[in-house]
Homo-oligomer: A and B are copies of this chain.
């Protein structure tokens, strides 16, 4: 039942280190919740509030509030869904695309500056990204993660 303890520790460390990296970046890049939403919108394309909440793994009211804030900043637009009277279609504005690019540049600068001091190759970073992407890949079965 108990898995390989090495794997167990690695998995736990990955979570802890992710949390710390997130904390570290948060000090430099403001409004991380909005940034996540912009990033998801860029990946999904125009989407409704509930779909965004699922993708970000937050509650629907939380995403409603996030989108509202982004709209007030002019970073996203909202229009009624053409055929479904209940739904909204949220999309990035030009300003939203620009802001997302700015955030990505900031993120990259913070990380590359640190990686430059190490002997890690781009391939190793790519492996890290691939592992995390697969961990977070949507899984129809379980809603737990």
Is B122 touching A27 in the complex (CB atoms < 8 A)? no
Q: Does any Cβ of B come within 8 Å of A89's Cβ?
A: no
Which residues of B lie under 8 Å from residue A128 when comparing CB positions? 14, 127-128, 131-132
Candidates B16, B125, B131, B142; contact of A124 at CB < 8 Å = B131
Is A7 touching B125 in the complex (CB atoms < 8 A)? yes
Question: What is the oligomeric copy number?
Answer: 2
Which residues of B lie under 8 Å from residue A124 when comparing CB positions? 127, 130-131
A21-B136, A120-B134, A127-B127 provided; 9 other pairs, C-beta below 8 A?
A: A8-B108, A13-B133, A14-B21, A15-B107, A17-B132, A20-B57, A110-B145, A113-B142, A115-B135
